[in-house]
Amino acid sequence: MQFFFAQFTENDIKFWVGTGSKKAYFIADFNDNNTPASYAWGYRFDDDNLTAEDMINAIVAAEPNIEADIPSGFLYSFTYNHHTPSTDDYWITWTGQNAGNMSNQNNGVGYTALTDGLWFGITYGTDATSFNTPPSTPIPAYNSQWYTSSQITNWIGTGSNRSLVVVDFGTHSSNGHANSFVFGIQYNGTLTAEQALQLIQSQAPYFNFTSSNNQISSLSLNTFTGSNSGTESWKLYTGKDLSSWQKKADLSQIQLSNNTWMGLSFGDRRPFTPTEASSATLSVASVNKKSSFNIYPNPTSDFIQIETTENIREVNIYSSVGQKIMTSQSMKIDLKTLTAGVYWVEIKTKNGSTVHKVVKK
């Protein structure tokens, strides 16, 4: 147990509150049946007269999904998203110099002084097991305000209900930003996970996925790809925002209704702060691949010719609303049967895929 605790350090924390040269750390373990059950935050400060209560109050003020009641320095209740323990039992407090070596020999929330490097934790429950077990290995808490549905500029589909689908490839760009992308979808009633992904695929030709036995087998978003192999696989989540992800075993456990989010992450990171996929991801592929491909004539009245030094695996033609209407392996494609309008040409190679706009006269 101590070995696994030791794997969580200051470097793992994503959500920091406060300013100053000193640091303290807060873990809340709800000890319930949800996955995850334990979260960690970081707190920066300079004042020498602060307590753990001050740290918790600062975190509560920064995260609207947390509520805490600390009358006279005693932690009476602490709720976070779907974690809502009753007040029948108690919160046990813990302190230590790292996440893996904590004891409950302290003065509680209101009377434990904050010192530089202090880890302070709370666990819910008063039975013998809970009382003798420090906080379990946490995951880094995310801020619910890091991304909201109001930031979506292009919605896919129609209907009165809205959901976000976040796709995280588990990697980072050269500037350190997570390769995480989001689609906003609209619909009526409810959607299964498969239906949500099919809706995106029908209108975003740069997005493709395959599934088997209620698991995502492979998924690509322009040049970003992830295919299950060995220990690498797509993980599934649902929530109301970035702070509330709950892990799901398979696609059949996910049903979307208004304001429900779905997350897909390739690896162990929960879906992180995304960039809107409908504009940003397409522009990435266009910039990266522009010099590798040449499509002519464009506009065209009868055919298009693709020039490239790469080995083409497949070419898909999509209508302006994202419906796939043609598939080919040829570098010269006859478009005579198509009506005049705008089309999207998706070119797949071993290095990924790229999307180009073509006008049929």
- List pLDDT tens digits, range 37-55: 999 999 999 999 999 999 9
Share of the chain above pLDDT 70, in %: 92
3-state helix vs strand vs coil in the chain, percent to 5: 15, 45, 40
Find where tokens 């813990």 sit: 94
Helix (H, G, I), strand (E, B) or coil at 190: coil
Asked if residue 116 has pLDDT above 70, the reply is yes
> Cα(297)–Cα(278) distance, rounded to whole angstroms?
26
Banded model confidence at residue 348, pLDDT cuts 50, 70, 90: confident
**Cβ–Cβ < 8 Å for 222, 215:** no
For residue 203, give the nearest of 157, 168, 165, 256 by alpha carbon.
157
Categorize the per-residue pLDDT at 284 as very low, low, confident or very high, splitting at 50, 70 and 90: very low
pLDDT of residue 230: 83
The dihedrals phi and psi of 269, each to the nearest 5 degrees, come to -75, 130
pLDDT value at 291 more than 60: no
- Of the candidates 337, 335, 316, 311, the one whose C-alpha atom is nearest the C-alpha of residue 327 is 316
Residue 352: pLDDT above 90?
Answer: no
- Judged against a pLDDT cut of 90, whether residue 169 lies above it is answered with yes
Average pLDDT of the segment spanning 325-340? 91
Q: 278 pLDDT exceeds 70?
A: no
In the numeric block, which tokens belong to residue 357? 């706009």
Residue 82 pLDDT > 70:
yes
242 neighbors 139 (Cβ within 8 angstroms)? no
CA separation for the pair 325, 331 (Å, rounded):
17
Say what the pLDDT of residue 310 is: 83
Taking alpha carbons only, the member of 103, 108, 121 closest to residue 75 is 108
Q: Name the 3-class secondary structure at 213.
A: coil
pLDDT of residue 203: 87
Residue listed under structure tokens 């299950």: 228
Looking at the DSSP assignment, which residues form a beta bridge with residue 278? none
Please give the average per-residue pLDDT across 122-148, as a whole number: 91
* Predicted model pTM: 0.77
Structure tokens at 100: 């893996």
Strand 191-192 vs strand 255-256: parallel, antiparallel, or unpaired?
antiparallel
Q: For residue 205, which of 332, 317, 281 has the smallest C-alpha distance?
A: 317
